[in-house]
Amino acid sequence: MSRRLPVSGGKALGFQKRRWCSGTLGIILALGTASGGLRAEEPTVTDLLSQARSAYQRGDLAQALSLADRAVERDPRNPQGLYFRGRLHEMQGRHRQAIADYDTVVTLDPKAVEVYNRRGGEHFKLGHIEASIADFDRAIELNPRQEPYHWQRGISYYYAGLYREGRAQFQSHQQVNANDVENAVWHFLCGARLEGVRKARQSLLNIERDGRVPMMEIYRLFKGEGTIDYVMRAARAGDSDPEARNRQLFYAHLYLGLYHEALGDETEARRNLFLAADRYPVNHYMGDVARVHADRLRQQ
């Protein structure tokens, strides 16, 4: 989906002197300036988190988590340590543990906007759809300027069966991200549930250009002007590296699965969604969407 997100994904812990919440604690994560090594005396929470950050930057997530655990043990009511450890849990797919840390952070600071966003995402990954919506709603209540950017809430609305609210969310996102095929597709999917495929196609959001492969072929398919074959040929074409090819095939099968589901073809929907989730997984939020959807299909 959009690159301009209120939820920052899993790419970096981002502790370079940025304010992550506007609440009463008003914590600034400035660990980059702290000492990088253990002193002769007992290390402080800041020392431990600075070392954890260095371990994370080296790619040693296990060591980073061990140091974060020590920091939390040293001061269980320090939101810096809890937030840091929650992010590390996220990156390792430990969603319940991340939620537990975020629960404590928002108890300490009920206005921690980013933490509500992150906890909402973690709830979604566990299939806790209503809880994810509640957290996203709270984040938007605290910072209303986030609302048009919050496509994650739109996806949660879809899985909650709140199609009217979902369609409105994706319509709003179009105002700040006018060339995102995924946004147009999710708007279509909500509309198809409300009014049927023909009317959803008539109100398909206009997309001029989305440079990601095979997004424009997916868009033309949903518009009624393309074919499944064109989508798959685009996804397999080019001299892309294995990671890029996997990503292209993930998107192709995810949206072909959703397309077949909207048209009522359960067999092809399941086949494509399982391929996206199991054979071509990707490590970002849309990968979690495919996995959650596939899990819901398996539970039916």
Q: Each residue of 134-170: pLDDT tens digit?
A: 999 999 999 999 999 999 999 999 999 999 999 999 9
Predicted TM-score of the model (pTM): 0.87
Task: Give the number of domains in the chain.
Answer: 3
pLDDT digit string, tens, across residues 244-294: 999 999 999 999 999 999 999 999 999 999 999 999 999 999 999 999 999
Task: Report the distance separating Cα 85 and Cα 62, nearest Å.
Answer: 11
pLDDT band of residue 42 (cuts 50, 70, 90) is confident
In a domain, 6, yes or no: no
In a domain, 2, yes or no: no
In a domain, 5, yes or no: no
Q: Quick check: 213 and 234 in contact, CB under 8 A?
A: yes
**Mean pLDDT lowest among 40-54, 58-72, 118-132:** 40-54
The reported pLDDT for the residue numbered 238 is 79
| Sign, Cα dihedral of 128, 131, 136, 139 | negative
- Find the mean pLDDT for residues 87-103: 97
In a domain, 116, yes or no: yes
* pLDDT greater than 60 at residue 6: no
Whether 221 and 204 share a structural domain: no
Whether 49 and 105 share a structural domain: yes
Domain boundary among 210, 230, 254: 210
- Find the mean pLDDT for residues 64-69: 97
The reported pLDDT for the residue numbered 5 is 43
Question: CB-based contacts of 198: which residues, under 8 Å, 6+ apart?
Answer: none
Whether 81 and 156 share a structural domain: no
Task: Report the distance separating Cα 275 and Cα 290, nearest Å.
Answer: 9
The reported pLDDT for the residue numbered 9 is 40
In a domain, 204, yes or no: yes
For residue 261, the enclosing domain spans: 212-300
Proportion of the chain above pLDDT 70, given as a percent:
87
* pLDDT greater than 70 at residue 36: no
The reported pLDDT for the residue numbered 1 is 77
DSSP-derived secondary structure for 56-120: HHTT-HHHHHHHHHHHHHH-TT-HHHHHHHHHHHHHTT-HHHHHHHHHHHHHH-TT-HHHHHHHH
* pLDDT greater than 50 at residue 129: yes
The reported pLDDT for the residue numbered 76 is 96
